[in-house]
């Protein structure tokens, strides 16, 4: 369903090409006076011929006709932009000679408002305490994963969890354990890539006192430690070939023989293995035993990469914000611009990369919402070059920043004088400058004894 637009074209100066382009994309009602408008709209557009732009903005909101207003300008000068800003317009768009660029900006405003509503909805979900066993996500890919897990959660079948690094394979394993009949028994985890190969056999199966030089006492292996519960073998594709037949025997016999012992010790543990490798290819290339692969691959569960999970990126981001935010860094959410940057990133590091990204952004944030400029450099949106003589279409917030800093520079950094020229009180100006951070042309506020303009 197309978004609804109210176009206030008081002077009949909205270019026909712009009106035609708007009509192709949106459900448009064009009026010459506000009194002709009825109902409510997703967005109101004020044309360049409207004499009292600020009054029109306020009237549109007061009448409930539109919560978001875009002001079109044929000149694009800074004074008009500031007037639109004071009237709390959502965006200020110089029309220029390219209707498509105008449509792009108006579409961005509508998309931002829809994205803002979605962020508010997700913020409510993220505020609920998350457990290490929770599978966070509403995307079709995650719903499919949850349904597949639900079929085997009550059984002891061996599960092979596959997926790229950072997708959350251990969370899947913990979720299976926490929802199954062994939930009150141990969950023992071992990362096969983190233990030196020469120690893996002792870690898995245990050893008897005197089995080797440093074996000063008997040690119970991980299989027996997990008895009654679940043993999670992470990165099982990293197992050395010489250990694989021993692991296969243990899985077949359901008992282990500690190093240096002749005694078989039975165990009763559910096995969940995980790998970021393509084990079928590893088998073909001779790096993984086929019979062990068949033993582990009773049920294979693929964890989708983050790039396949759509809006789950934003839900996970809100969870990480909620978890990492503190009294000293009270971050409540994302701006639509930051959300767009997160959604457009490929996330080669998956959920782990997203978590690190949010922690970094919180450290850089200057207010209670993470903005696109707070994100790491690889997520920063690139501003396209503008050809000579063309008018660059800037977001209204950028226009505001540029104008305020230029006024501040023109008065030699005197914030009291700048606030007078801008028509805002000094506390508002200080708050804006704090958001912008250190800027060329600004200087610390004058000492109270020399500030005679207050």
Rounded distance between C-alpha atoms, residue 353 and residue 389, angstroms: 41
What CATH number is attached to the domain comprising 409? 1.10.10
Paired tokens of 102: 């105008």
3-class state of residue 309 by DSSP:
coil
Residues 172 and 229 in one domain: yes
Residues 256 and 155 in one domain: yes
Summarised one tens digit per residue, pLDDT across range 295-348 is: 999 999 999 999 999 999 999 999 999 888 876 678 889 988 899 899 999 999
Rounded distance between C-alpha atoms, residue 52 and residue 57, angstroms: 9
Residue 149's H or E segment, with its range, is: helix 140-150
443-449 contacts, C-beta under 8 A, 24 or more apart = 443/412, 443/413, 444/413, 445/415, 445/416, 446/414, 446/415, 446/416
Rounded distance between C-alpha atoms, residue 270 and residue 251, angstroms: 10
Residues 370 and 420 in one domain: no
Q: What is the DSSP letter of 314?
A: H
* Domains of the chain: total: 4
Predicted confidence band at 388 (pLDDT cuts at 50, 70, 90)? very low
Residue 98 counted as domain residue: yes
Residues 262 and 187 in one domain: yes
3-class state of residue 350 by DSSP:
helix
Please name which of 33, 46, 42, 53 lies closest in space to residue 4, comparing C-alpha atoms: 42
Residue 120 counted as domain residue: no
Predicted confidence band at 179 (pLDDT cuts at 50, 70, 90)? very high
User: So what's the pLDDT on residue 77?
Assistant: 59
Residues 207 and 261 in one domain: yes
What CATH number is attached to the domain comprising 351? 1.10.8.60
Task: Give residue 413's domain range.
Answer: 395-454
Residues 375 and 428 in one domain: no
What CATH number is attached to the domain comprising 277? 3.40.50.300
User: So what's the pLDDT on residue 382?
Assistant: 61
Summarised one tens digit per residue, pLDDT across range 219-267 is: 888 999 999 999 999 999 999 999 999 999 999 999 998 888 888 999 9
Residue 374 counted as domain residue: yes
Residue 119 counted as domain residue: no
Residues 52 and 160 in one domain: no
Please name which of 10, 84, 15, 78 lies closest in space to residue 49, comparing C-alpha atoms: 10
Residues 177 and 246 in one domain: yes
Residues 427 and 324 in one domain: no
The model's pTM: 0.70
Residue 389 counted as domain residue: no
Residue 384 counted as domain residue: no
Among residues 274, 303, 332, the one where a domain terminates is: 303
Q: If 0-12 CB within 10 Å is exposed, 13-18 middle and 19+ buried, where does residue 244 land?
A: middle
Residue 386 counted as domain residue: no
Rounded percentage of the chain residues whose pLDDT exceeds 70: 86
Rounded distance between C-alpha atoms, residue 188 and residue 231, angstroms: 5
What CATH number is attached to the domain comprising 99? 3.40.50.2300
Start-to-end C-alpha separation, the chain: 53
Residue 390 counted as domain residue: no
Residues 295 and 182 in one domain: yes
Residues 224 and 342 in one domain: no
């Amino acid at each position: 369903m197309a978004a609804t637009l109210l176009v206030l074209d008081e002077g009949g100066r909205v270019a026909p090409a712009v009106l035609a382009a708007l009509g192709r994309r949106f459900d448009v009602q064009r009026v010459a006076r506000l009194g002709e408008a009825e109902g409510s709209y997703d967005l109101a557009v004020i044309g360049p011929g409207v004499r009292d732009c600020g009054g029109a903005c306020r009237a549109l909101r007061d009448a409930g006709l539109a919560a978001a207003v875009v002001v079109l300008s044929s000149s694009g000068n800074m004074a008009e932009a500031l007037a639109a800003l004071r009237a709390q317009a959502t965006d200020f768009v110089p029309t220029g000679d390219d209707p498509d660029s105008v449509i792009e900006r108006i579409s961005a405003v509508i998309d931002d408002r829809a994205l803002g509503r979605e962020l508010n909805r997700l913020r409510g979900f993220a505020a609920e305490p998350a457990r290490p066993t929770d599978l966070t996500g509403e995307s079709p890919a995650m719903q499919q994963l949850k349904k597949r897990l639900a079929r085997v959660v009550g059984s002891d079948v061996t599960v092979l969890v596959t997926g790229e690094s950072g997708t959350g394979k251990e969370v899947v394993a913990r979720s299976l354990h926490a929802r199954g009949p062994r939930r009150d028994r141990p969950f023992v985890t071992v990362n096969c890539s983190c233990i030196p190969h020469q120690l893996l056999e002792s870690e898995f199966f245990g050893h008897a006192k005197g089995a080797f030089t440093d074996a000063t006492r008997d040690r119970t292996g991980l299989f027996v430690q997990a008895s009654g519960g679940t043993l999670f073998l992470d990165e099982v594709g990293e197992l050395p070939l010489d250990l694989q037949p021993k692991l296969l025997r243990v899985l077949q016999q359901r008992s282990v023989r500690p190093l240096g012992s002749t005694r078989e010790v039975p165990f009763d543990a559910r096995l969940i293995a995980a790998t970021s490798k393509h084990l079928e290819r590893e088998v073909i290339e001779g790096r993984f035993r086929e019979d062990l692969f068949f033993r582990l691959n009773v049920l294979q569960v693929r964890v989708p990469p983050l790039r396949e999970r759509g809006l789950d990126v934003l839900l996970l981001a809100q969870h990480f914000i909620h978890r990492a935010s503190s009294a000293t860094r009270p971050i409540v959410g994302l701006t639509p611009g930051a959300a767009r940057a997160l959604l457009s990133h490929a996330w080669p590091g998956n959920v782990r990369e997203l978590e690190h990204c949010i922690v970094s952004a919180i450290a850089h944030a200057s207010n209670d919402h993470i903005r696109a400029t707070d994100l790491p450099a690889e997520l920063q949106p690139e501003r396209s070059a503008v050809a000579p003589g063309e008018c660059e279409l800037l977001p209204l917030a950028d226009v505001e920043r540029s104008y305020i800093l230029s006024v501040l520079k023109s008065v030699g950094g005197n914030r009291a004088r700048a606030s007078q020229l801008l028509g805002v009180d000094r506390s508002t100006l200080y708050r804006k400058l704090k958001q912008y951070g250190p800027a060329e042309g600004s200087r610390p506020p004058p000492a109270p004894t020399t500030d005679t303009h207050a």
